[in-house]
Amino acid sequence: MSTSLPANRLPKLLVGLVLIISTFTSCRDQVEHTVTYATQVPVYLEVSAFRKMEVGPRPVKTISDAGKIYVYGDYLFINEPQKGIHVLDNRDPSNPQNITYIEIPGNVDLAVNSNILYADSYIDLLAFDISDLSAIKLVERVEEVFPHMFVDAERGMFVTFKDTVITTTSVEQGRGWGTWRNQEAFVSSDAAAGYGQGGSMARFTLMSGHLYAVDDYTLRLFDVQQACKPKFVKDIQLGWGIETIFPYKEKLFIGSMTGMHIYDATKPDSPIRMSVYQHIAACDPVVVNDDHAFVTLRTGNMCRFGEDVLQVLDIKDPYYPKLIKSYAMDNPHGLGLSGDYLYICEGDFGLKSFNTSNVLDIANNQLEHIENKRFTDVIPAPKSLIVTGADGVCQYDYSDPRKLKLLSCINVK
């Protein structure tokens, strides 16, 4: 059964750009509109059928959609939402080479620990041995650890979505030409330990021998001290609208639609909530350093009641985070921090870079604005700044933060 990408795992409808083509009918005072739009329809799968789907390495294929990105050593992993993961040799960021593809139905997130790739596959967590990329092997499947997808657990039925193009015809009173309409709906490292590096929109992260995965309500913990044998430990209820997770110095910073949660993970199998910074409902990825958290809030889609801003929080006392400054933005999505330099993906408005050495004057310290690309997340990786979005995955030399130099772009087909 064919399935494709949900922006997140709760059943939500994704409605794309609507083009209305007007044609006149024989009635003088009526206009007939043919409406064609991209959407997603729910697809119900049975566990027994899902487990028969093919999983594992496949020949190289063209990247048709770029989702989450992840860096591990000299390799770049690009998720193709709901389908699988492309693996690229990125030793030369100016010429990345697509070397293999891992088919994983229902995959959205990923992380790598000591040559073991963890990836969600609908309701299961899979572990692949990638120590030999020419012979990738599935070594473990942890079943039904993402139960939020179930609609009927007793019957083993869960829901996903598939892309669909729908054309309908409607008749409106009045005269004149049809117009374009936008119709929005609900859409929504630790190198020494052998971990890779994800972006700010990640829902998987690794720290202290544990994999942490968030869904819309829950933080799920896995013991991965034995990398090839991930073991589910427990889940922690976080509340509504959880979106992203970011690790930093034995703390977990969890972005949600209503605020930022800070958890003390000194005891990695028992994170303890330290505080919750609350804001108006808006999408909310976060990156941090010792003193500050940088949070982007945006409007549109599920976030349409929010605002388009960058917020800077004082987190020197993580039990009492304080907002110290807000900056107006265009439509900020993911962000990355490298030293004093902050990179913010502005969705359809491209990529911006800032010097943050003075957090009270970031707006006057904008360095660049790359406007000709649609970007949603970024990783300041050791060799390049890696940015992903609707147009594909691009890499920049950011050795001089004042002037980004384009190295390569992988366009999606």
pLDDT 10s digits, 319-352: 999 999 999 999 999 999 999 999 999 999 999 9
Q: How would you write the chain as a 3-class SS string?
A: CCCECCCCCCCCCCCCEEEEEEEECCCCCEEEEEEEEEEEEEEEEEHHHHCCCCCEEECCCCCCCCCCEEEECCEEEEEECCCEEEEEECCCCCCCEEEEEEECCCCCCEEEECCEEEEEECCEEEEEECCCCCCCEEEEEECCCCHHHEEECCCCEEEEEEEEEEEEEEEEECCCCCCEEECCCCCCCCHHHCECEECCCCCEEEECCEEEEECCCEEEEEECCCCCCCEEEEEEECCCCEEEEEEECCEEEEEECCEEEEEECCCCCCCEEEEEEECCCCECCEEECCCEEEEEEECCHHHCCCCCEEEEEECCCCCCCEEEEEEECCCCCCEEEECCEEEEECECCCEEEEECCCHHHCHHHEEEEECCCCECEEEECCCCEEEEECCEEEEEECCCCCCCEEEEEEECC
**Residues spanned by the domain of 339:** 48-151+184-411
CATH number at residue 300: 2.130.10.10
**Residue range 1-55, pLDDT digits in tens:** 333 334 343 333 333 433 333 333 334 445 554 544 445 567 777 787 888 889 9
Residue 96 belongs to some domain of the structure: yes
Residue 202 belongs to some domain of the structure: yes
Residue 37 belongs to some domain of the structure: no
**Mean pLDDT of the region 385-412:** 95
Residue 166 belongs to some domain of the structure: no
Residue 8 belongs to some domain of the structure: no
Tally the domains of the chain. Answer: 1
Q: Does position 88 have pLDDT exceeding 90, yes or no?
A: yes
Residue 34 belongs to some domain of the structure: no
Residue 28 belongs to some domain of the structure: no
Answer whether 352's CB lies under 8 Å from 343's CB.
yes
Residue 392 belongs to some domain of the structure: yes
pLDDT confidence of residue 41: 67
Q: What percent of the chain has pLDDT over 70?
A: 76
More confident site: 152 or 316: 316
pLDDT confidence of residue 19: 33
Q: Does position 187 have pLDDT exceeding 70, yes or no?
A: no
pLDDT grade for 241, boundaries at 50, 70 and 90: confident
pLDDT confidence of residue 186: 24
